[in-house]
Amino acid sequence: MSKLTNKVAFVTGGSRGIGAAIAKRLAADGANVAITYAKDAGAASAVVKAIELGGGKAVAIQADAADVVAVKNAVEQAVATFGRLDVLVNNAGTAIPKPFEEATLEEMDRVIDINIRGVFATTQAALKHLNDGGRIIMIGSAVGERAIAPGLVPYAATKAAVRMFTQALSREVGSRGITVNNVQPGPIDTDLNPASGDWAVPQKAATALDRYGRADEIAAMVAFVAGPESSYITGANLTVDGGMNA
Ligand code: NDP
């Protein structure tokens, strides 16, 4: 028996980057996994196929995190497919990096809609189904605690909000043994934040380990928080950033 055998996980934005690594890792640990994606059905089905090749079960559901109806339907579809829900990973998120004076309200709304409103809608839809002892895991950001570079005002503000969302919600669901934790990645090499290019230079330099992280290094923390050994950890902000915020 693996750590997550007979458990069902729902991972938003699970078709690429950190979310894909999380979905594959939770499946390797024995969970049946539902992933959502916004646009790229091909990438989502590649994740499903990779999980199935490893002997696991997965399903991909299109649901833009900014679309509350789509999010609710996706949660219902996952529960209908696998019969239960034990782990929610709110991973879908976006950034629109630019100097603050050039940022628009429309961009701010988009970042809020995905990074905060989407987390609210998904968590509320999932909580109805989440079994006692379940896990709610946010993917916040190290910049939700410390702004290491310019250009991220809306993004950092939403990730700081995710931090308090986590802490506040942990106080409402603890009586059911449900934990709520916020994994805060530092610079991780993905399409959103590639390790090559000018933007990467100051981020890499800010880490104590002098390197970008890999998506599987975030997935390892998520797998721990999703598993039975993390049962007394809740309301916590768990930073995995190569020492960027040290
Ligand atoms: P990527 O852009 O590489 O991947 C994003 C994933 O989310 C894709 O599967 C994408 O699917 C999906 N997605 C994007 N927009 C939406 C949406 N509106 N609704 C549903 N799914 C969506 O991002 P990362 O893997 O880098 O980031 C994942 C999370 O980690 C985010 O919350 C991000 O803020 C956070 N993070 C990332 C860091 C990094 O350095 N990479 C650092 C700190 C935090 P599709 O292709 O279909 O759009």
182 lines ligand 1 (CB under 6 A): no
Where does the pLDDT of residue 198 fall: very low under 50, low under 70, confident under 90, or very high at 90 and above? Answer: confident
Local confidence band at 144 (pLDDT 50, 70, 90 cut-offs) = very high
With a 6 A CB cut-off, is 194 part of the ligand 1 pocket? no
Report the C-alpha gap between 1 and 41 in whole angstroms: 32
Return the pLDDT at 197. 78
Cα gap 138→180, rounded to integer Å: 8
212 tagged catalytic: no
Host H or E run for residue 235: none
**Centre of ligand 1 from the C-alpha of residue 94, in Å:** 6
Residue-wise DSSP of 137-177: EEE--GGGT---SSS-HHHHHHHHHHHHHHHHHHHHHGGGT
Q: Tell me what the pLDDT averaged over the chain comes to.
A: 97
Query: What pLDDT is attached to residue 1?
Result: 74
pLDDT in tens, 27-44: 999 999 999 999 999 999
Residue ranges and CATH numbers for the domains of the chain are 8-240 (3.40.50.720)
Ligand 1 atom nearest 187 alpha carbon: 40
**pLDDT tens digits for 53-70?**
999 999 999 999 999 999
Which residues, other chains included, contact 106 with Cβ-Cβ below 8 Å and sequence gap of 6+?
Answer: none
| Separation CA 51–CA 25 (nearest Å) | 9
pLDDT in tens, 99-141: 999 999 999 999 999 999 999 999 999 999 999 999 999 999 9
The per-residue DSSP string of 61-116 comes to EE--TT-HHHHHHHHHHHHHHHS-EEEEEE---------GGG--HHHHHHHHIIII
Q: Which residues of 39-74 are buried (b: 16+ CB within 10 A; e: fewer)?
A: eeeebbeebbeebeeeebebbbbbbbbbbbebbbeb
> How sure is the predictor about 149, in pLDDT bands with cuts at 50, 70 and 90?
confident
Q: Which of 162, 190, 212 to mutate to test the pocket of ligand 1 (most atoms within 8 A of CB)?
A: 190
Phi and psi at residue 100, to the nearest 5°:
-55, -40
Q: Is the CB of 207 under 6 A from ligand 1?
A: no
Beta carbon of 93 within 6 Å of any ligand 1 atom: yes
Atom of ligand 1 nearest to the CA of 113: 18
